[in-house]
């Protein structure tokens, strides 16, 4: 362990001599203190909170990611170019300990910088909330809905498989099925049937039944959050009521607001011990408009699950675990390639992460649907006057298939990084479960770095290194 610590100390000295820390600290200072001054919120405490938590911490995380990847690449590749790494390799130190020492140096540096920016972001948020001129009621509502840790409970989707099968058979009997894979048609029919189930006509009502895991432990506030769209253009005002039944108690609230905007209703002093809650939304028919709810999260129930302080610390820990994995990737790339090549690959990785939403969506579509949607782009332009373009060629289908597997491989390889929603959840007051943090510790701080470290150790043993030129 003393050898690893000594290598980490030498690596830290090298980083400080390059003045990277000073530049990075200045950028993080600007993100924490100057960025909130240049961004305008929507005038609500919730908007101000989201700016500080999502934008400030998001920019700080991005800067730390870039710096970590570059410093990780330089930790080995630059020393190899300067012929100083070879002096370390001839000493009786295992190759894995060399890698661990470089990695540990980056972990120490990231921990210090992230702790500073996390404390600065929290301090500036507290200052701007106190000096923002918000009334007490608005601040209290923001603390209930955003500056907290809320568990989101969703009602199970209704079983529509029988309706989907019946509609599919009806279209097939009428010879009206589109030219598409059967799986894609059934998926489209399922979305249509669910949309019909979650439409509330004028004078009608819809019920959502929520199972509360573990019951509702204590009498406290429950939040019902919903968002719906209206069928009549310009029908901005909602005229509806929402009833919440829980523990033998029914509370009715009037719904007045703008269609399409998120709404939150707070129900205080909810009785303890309830294992189920039922929300009934009644559309009284303003403008004769039908209201449409998203089946997945059009109306959800949220209940307190922890404190904001605990949620904030877990979010910082999640960011730190990502940085630990990026540090391992950077050191490994610096071991495998020269500094220019390793730097180019880190930029490719950053680009992939910026396209994470598209990659996740593409990778979760089945192969047949992906090929049918992408292959026509490879077909030659059809002649003028033809009613339909020609069918995709075999080469176009093969290219679409290769592209699908490339997306799928990227998704499976970088899934812990592509699906990260830590800052989005923190900015909306969503509870970050400790079990997710424990899983990420096993993946991003132990499992994946260990595999990368073993790969780097093998490369350090097998790779031929040029000796320093004698002076």
- From CA 98, how far away is CA 95, in angstroms rounded? 5
Which pLDDT score is estimated for 293? Answer: 94
DSSP assigned state of 297: T
Helix axes 20-29, 57-81, angle to 10 degrees: 170
Taking a C-beta distance cutoff of 8 angstroms, is the pair 206, 198 a contact? yes
First to last CA, the chain: 34
Helical (H) or strand (E) element with 414: none
Residue 305 has pLDDT above 90, yes or no: no
Helical (H) or strand (E) element with 69: helix 57-81
Q: Higher model confidence: residue 81 or residue 430? A: 430
Query: What mean pLDDT do residues 5-18 have?
Result: 82
Helix (H, G, I), strand (E, B) or coil at 130: helix
Taking a C-beta distance cutoff of 8 angstroms, is the pair 293, 228 a contact? yes
Range(s) within the chain of domains with CATH label 2.60.120: 161-305
Helices (H), 132-238: 136-145, 161-173, 182-197
Which pLDDT score is estimated for 312? Answer: 94
Q: What is the DSSP string of 341-356?
A: HHHHHHHHHHHHHHTH
Which pLDDT score is estimated for 382? Answer: 43
- From CA 34, how far away is CA 49, in angstroms rounded? 15
- Beta-sheet strand order (sheet of 149-153): 149-153, 299-306, 220-226, 263-270
Parallel, antiparallel, or unpaired: how do β-strands 291-293 and 220-226 relate? unpaired
DSSP assigned state of 378: G
Tens of pLDDT along 236-292? 678 899 999 988 888 899 988 788 888 888 887 777 777 888 999 999 887 788 999
Q: Higher model confidence: residue 12 or residue 367? A: 12
What CATH code is assigned to 161-305?
A: 2.60.120
Band (384; pLDDT cuts 50, 70, 90): very low
Residue 381 has pLDDT above 50, yes or no: no
Tens of pLDDT along 73-107? 888 888 777 777 777 777 778 888 889 999 999 99
Helix (H, G, I), strand (E, B) or coil at 7: helix
pTM over 0.85: no
Which pLDDT score is estimated for 470? Answer: 56
Taking a C-beta distance cutoff of 8 angstroms, is the pair 310, 55 a contact? no
Residue 383 has pLDDT above 70, yes or no: no
Taking a C-beta distance cutoff of 8 angstroms, is the pair 276, 210 a contact? yes
């Amino acid at each position: 362990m003393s050898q690893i610590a000594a290598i980490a100390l030498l690596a830290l000295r090298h980083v400080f001599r390059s003045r990277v820390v000073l530049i990075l600290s200045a950028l993080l200072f600007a993100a924490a203190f100057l960025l909130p001054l240049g961004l305008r919120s929507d005038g609500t405490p919730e908007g101000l909170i989201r700016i500080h938590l999502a934008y400030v911490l998001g920019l700080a995380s991005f800067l730390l990611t870039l710096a970590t990847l570059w410093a990780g690449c330089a930790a080995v590749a630059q020393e190899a170019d300067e012929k100083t790494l070879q002096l370390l390799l001839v000493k009786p130190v295992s190759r894995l300990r060399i890698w661990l020492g470089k990695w540990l140096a980056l972990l120490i540096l990231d921990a210090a910088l992230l702790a500073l920016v996390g404390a600065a972001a929290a301090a500036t948020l507290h200052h701007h909330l106190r000096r923002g001129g918000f009334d007490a009621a608005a601040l209290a509502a923001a603390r209930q809905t955003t500056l907290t840790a809320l568990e989101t409970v969703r009602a199970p989707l209704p079983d529509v498989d029988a309706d989907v099968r019946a509609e599919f058979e009806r279209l097939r009997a009428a010879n009206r099925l589109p030219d598409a894979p059967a799986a894609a048609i059934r998926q489209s029919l399922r979305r249509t049937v669910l949309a019909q189930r979650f439409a509330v006509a004028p004078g009608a009502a819809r019920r959502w039944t929520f199972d509360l895991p573990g019951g509702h432990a204590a009498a406290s506030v429950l939040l019902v959050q919903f968002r719906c769209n209206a069928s009549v253009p310009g029908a901005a005002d909602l005229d509806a009521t929402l009833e919440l039944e829980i523990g033998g108690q029914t509370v009715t609230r009037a719904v007045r607001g703008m269609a399409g905007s998120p709404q939150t209703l707070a129900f205080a002093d909810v009785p303890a011990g309830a294992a189920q809650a039922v929300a009934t939304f009644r559309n009284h028919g303003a403008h004769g408009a039908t209201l449409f709810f998203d089946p997945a999260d059009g109306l959800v129930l949220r209940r307190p699950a922890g404190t904001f302080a605990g949620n904030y610390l877990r979010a910082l820990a999640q960011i730190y675990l990502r940085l630990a994995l990026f540090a391992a990737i950077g050191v490994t790339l610096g071991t495998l390639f020269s500094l220019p090549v390793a730097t180019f690959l880190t930029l490719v990785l950053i680009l992939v992460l910026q396209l994470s939403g598209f990659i996740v969506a593409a990778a979760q579509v089945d192969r047949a649907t992906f090929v049918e949607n992408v292959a026509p782009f490879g077909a030659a332009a059809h002649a003028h006057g033809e009613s339909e373009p020609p069918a995709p060629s075999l080469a176009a289908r093969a290219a679409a298939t290769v592209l699908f597997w490339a997306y799928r491989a990227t998704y499976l390889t970088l899934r812990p990084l592509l699906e990260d929603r830590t800052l989005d959840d923190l900015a909306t007051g969503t509870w970050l479960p400790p079990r997710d943090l424990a899983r990420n510790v096993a993946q991003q701080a132990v499992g994946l770095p260990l595999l990368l470290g073993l790969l780097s150790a093998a490369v350090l043993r097998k790779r031929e290194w040029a000796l320093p030129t004698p002076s």
